[in-house]
A and B are shown apart, each in its own frame.
Chain A
Amino acid sequence: MRAHFTASRLTVVAMFLCLMLASLWLAPQALAANPDGEIGQAVGTVDADTWRQVKNGGNSIDSRHDSNYSLINQSGETWRQIRNRWISPGGLIALGGMLAVLVIFYLLVGRNNLDHPRSGKLMLRWTALERAMHWTLATLFLTLAITGINLLWGKFVFRNVFGDVFWANMIMATKVIHNYVGPLFSIMLILVLAKWLKLNLPKKHDLDWFRQGGGMMKGKHPDAGFANGGEKAWYWILATVGLVVIASGLVLDFPIFGQTRDNMQWANVFHGIASLMLIAVSFGHIYIGTAGTEGAFEGMKTGYVDETWAKQHHNLWYDEVKQAEAADPAADPATAPDDSLARQQRPN
Chain B
Amino acid sequence: MAQMKFLCDAERCIECNGCVTACKNANETEWGVQRRRVVTLDDGKPSEVSISVACMHCDDAPCMAVCPTDCFYKTDDGIVLHDKDICIGCGYCLYACPFGAPQFPQQGAFGERGKMDKCTFCAGGPAESPEEEFEKYGANRISEGKLPLCAEMCSTKALLAGDAETVSDIFRQRVVYRGHEDGAWSPVDKASHPETSANLTTSSVQQADHLAYDAARKG
List chain A positions with a Cβ less than 8 A from chain B. 34-48, 50-51, 53-54, 59-65, 67, 69-74, 76-77, 79-80, 83-84, 151-152, 154-155, 159, 164, 167-168, 171-172, 174-175, 179, 252-256, 261, 264-265, 268
Contacts and interface: CB of A to CB of B under 8 A. Distances in A.
6 contacts: A42-B11, A62-B39, A63-B20, A71-B53, A155-B68, A264-B91
B86 interface: yes
A73 B98 contact: yes
B66 A168 contact: no
A180 to B, nearest CB: 9
A63 B69 contact: no
Given A41-B200, A63-B34, 18 more contacts: A36-B193, A38-B178, A39-B178, A42-B11, A44-B47, A45-B42, A46-B49, A48-B207, A62-B40, A65-B32, A71-B41, A71-B51, A74-B98, A80-B66, A155-B67, A155-B70, A159-B70, A261-B95
B37 A42 contact: no
A240 B134 CA distance: 49
A167 B43 contact: no
Contacts of A261: 94-95, 100
Interface string B133-169: 0000000000000000000000000000000000000
Contacts of B205: 39, 42-44, 46
Interface string B99-117: 1100000100011110000
Contact of B97 (A64, A73, A175): A73
Given A43-B208, A80-B65, A62 B37 contact: yes
Contact of A79 (B39, B51, B68, B96): B96
B204 interface: yes
* The 3 residue pairs across chains A and B that have the minimum distance between CB atoms: A256-B111, A45-B47, A69-B100
B111 A254 contact: yes
Contacts of B34: 63-65
Given A35-B178, A39-B202, A79 B88 contact: no
B178 A167 contact: no
Contacts of B94: 261
B34 to A, nearest CB: 5
Q: Give the interface residue-count category, chain B.
A: 35 or more
B39 A77 contact: no
B47 A46 contact: yes
Interface of B: 10-11, 15, 17, 20, 32, 34, 37-43, 46-47, 49, 51, 53, 62, 65-70, 83, 85-86, 88-92, 94-100, 106, 110-113, 177-179, 188, 193, 195-197, 200-205, 207-208, 211
A60 B40 contact: yes
The residue among B15, B32, B89, B204 with the most chain A CB atoms within 10 A of its own CB is B204
B91 A255 contact: yes
Contacts of B17: 63
A41 B188 CA distance: 15
B104 to A, nearest CB: 8
A53 B41 contact: yes
B179 A39 contact: yes
A73 B195 contact: no
Looking at B38, B86, B91, B195, the one whose CB has the most chain A CB atoms below 10 A away is: B86
Contacts of A72: 98-99
A80 B178 contact: no
Contacts of A256: 106, 110-111
A97 B111 CA distance: 37
A172 B197 contact: no
Contact of B69 (A37, A70, A171): A171
B200 A175 contact: no
B151 to A, nearest CB: 17
Determine which residue in A45, A48, A59, A154 has the highest number of CB atoms from chain B within 10 A of its CB, and name it: A45
Contacts of A50: 41-42, 47, 49, 204
B207 A63 contact: no
A74 B95 CA distance: 10
A53 B94 CA distance: 21
A167 B86 contact: yes
A79 B65 CA distance: 11
B210 to A, nearest CB: 11
B98 A62 contact: no
Given A50-B42, A84-B65, A254-B110, A164 B178 contact: no
B38 A36 contact: no
Contacts of A34: 195
A155 B83 CA distance: 14
A39 to B, nearest CB: 5
Contacts of A253: 110
Given A39-B196, A84-B65, A154-B68, A76 B41 contact: no
Nearest to A84: B65
Contacts of A37: 195-196
A167 B41 CA distance: 43
Contacts of A65: 32, 34
Nearest to A63: B38
Given A36-B195, A46-B205, A63-B38, A179 B112 contact: yes
